[in-house]
Structure 1
């Protein structure tokens, strides 16, 4: 059990240091990942930035992720779920376009320049506060992959075993402090899992190392 996201970040940073992992850039997935990513970036002496994705909600059930799209349009879809729910291609394209635009707007709120920083040849650690379906993490990792980073690591405090295993196909390495067999939701592993506002998240980016 983590006290809060800062505690989770400290523990994650300690594990990455123990493994001897090196990074040039740490990318947090807003908003909840920023309090986790800040101590990771500090420990690894790396720059902190963001990578943004939005989930694609199912028809009549927007909380159910049938996929996700990153701010550059990189998309991941759960084809099994799409088929099971009989989701039309027209619906998918409409919601993809809407959420890609929302992701771009969100990314613009966090940085002065559009798009990711120049990641070509860099070692990147993508951080989230936890992984449930893995939809947004997958879309974010694919966006980073497209940027020609030399190495991409996903680091999270906790995640669904099934999702963590699937994400190993998307990153060079995946580090999860906990992968409980009875996983139900990320929040159940935090004593304090309150919402993080955009302003709070931006403040983590603004802190000097």
Structure 2
């Protein structure tokens, strides 16, 4: 059984969670072939800290959870940019959904995905991930359905390497995901989780305004040199 979070494991907020991911990812600092892709909205503040500290590019991987209509907290699957769709067969067996209701959820979440694409990226050209090292970041995983959809969307573009970095995920989810990617960074892997927010002191919702602000700050800074990897280790 998972123990209660200790002062050493509890995450103050998403920025703190991002800073805890920096050291395990130091080998990727200052590399032009590396890009961090945040899963909005909650993954953006986490990813921003990583991209800023390592002086690497930041962008988005748009993903939407497909919640069971009667139990929205349960993911029956997920969709991602590029028409990627992943199903959670266990959730669908536990909470059967007819095709019409399933399609309605897909349609709604696709519309929201497209809205976020337009609002957040503001006309930036589509991502080009071929031969790139891609680091996918979120604020935590529960079932892992959204992250798995993101992994499939990235893999479709033939990257050189796929890394997933998250501050917390249940052990079973982490192990399932580890077999799907080249590297998994996850400092906290409790055997079970009541919720991702249980491991945060502040897990307040990330707003569209915060996402846009962090992205603009990151994009403005991309051409400014950052500290060396050795300097990061000395902090």
* Normalised TM-score (structure 2): 0.82
Quote the Cα distance in structure 2 between the aligned partners of 1:169 and 1:15. Answer: 19
> Is the partner of 2:166 in helix, strand or coil?
strand
Match of 2:228 in 1: none
- Report the structure, 1 or 2, having the larger strand content: 1
Matched, 1:145 2:155: yes
Match of 1:164 in 2: 174
Match of 1:192 in 2: 202
Matched, 1:103 2:146: no
Quote the Cα distance in structure 2 between the aligned partners of 1:114 and 1:59. Answer: 33
| Aligned-residue CA RMSD (Å) | 1.8
Higher CA-based Rg: 2
Task: Report runs of 4+ in structure 1 exceeding 6 Å deviation.
Answer: none
Report deviation, 1:116.
4.1
Match of 2:45 in 1: 35
* Mapping 1:83-102, distance limit 5 Å: 83-102=93-112
Report deviation, 1:30.
0.7
* Normalised TM-score (structure 1): 0.91
Quote the Cα distance in structure 2 between the aligned partners of 1:193 and 1:79. Answer: 29
Matched, 1:117 2:98: no
> Is the partner of 2:16 in helix, strand or coil?
helix
The total of aligned residue pairs comes to 207
Quote the Cα distance in structure 2 between the aligned partners of 1:159 and 1:33. Answer: 13
C-alpha contact (below 8 Å) 1:121/1:149 kept by paired residues: yes
Report deviation, 1:114.
6.7
> Is the partner of 1:157 in helix, strand or coil?
coil
Match of 1:7 in 2: 16
> Is the partner of 2:194 in helix, strand or coil?
coil
Deviation readout 1:140-195 (Å, 9 max, x if unpaired): 11111112211111000111111111112332111101101242211111111111
Tell me, which stretches of 5 or more residues in structure 2 are unaligned? 1-9, 223-235
Quote the Cα distance in structure 1 between the aligned partners of 2:94 and 2:18. Answer: 37
> Is the partner of 1:178 in helix, strand or coil?
coil
Match of 1:180 in 2: 190
Q: 1:59 aligns with which of 50, 64, 69?
A: 69
Report deviation, 1:115.
7.1
Report deviation, 1:91.
2.9
Report deviation, 1:69.
0.7
